[in-house]
Amino acid sequence: MVSVQWNLRHLRAFVKTYELGTILAASKAVHISQPAVTQGLVRLEDQLGTSLFERHPDGMHPTEAAHL
């Protein structure tokens, strides 16, 4: 079994992106740069093996996996 180490900053960024709907708003809420939020979400998705958001011009739309 592979042990996954979760990054709390990435998890906070995920929650704020889920709540606020945009990476920019999430980055301001968690006080980290927009590229860092994007990289953190990509890393979480890689660790989970699934997409958490659908990227759209009007923001981030949570997938079923994100809702769970």
Write the pLDDT tens digit of every residue in 15-41. 999 999 999 999 999 999 999 999 999
The distance between the two most distant Cα atoms of the chain, rounded to a whole number of Å, is 39
Please report the sign of the dihedral spanned by the C-alpha atoms of residue 39, residue 59, residue 21, residue 46.
negative
Average the pLDDT over 41-50 and give the result. 95
CB 24 within 8 A of CB 34: yes
Neighbours of 66 (CB within 10 A): 21
Global pTM reads 0.90
Length of the chain: 68
Alpha helices (H) in the chain, listed in sequence order? 8-20, 23-30, 34-48, 64-67
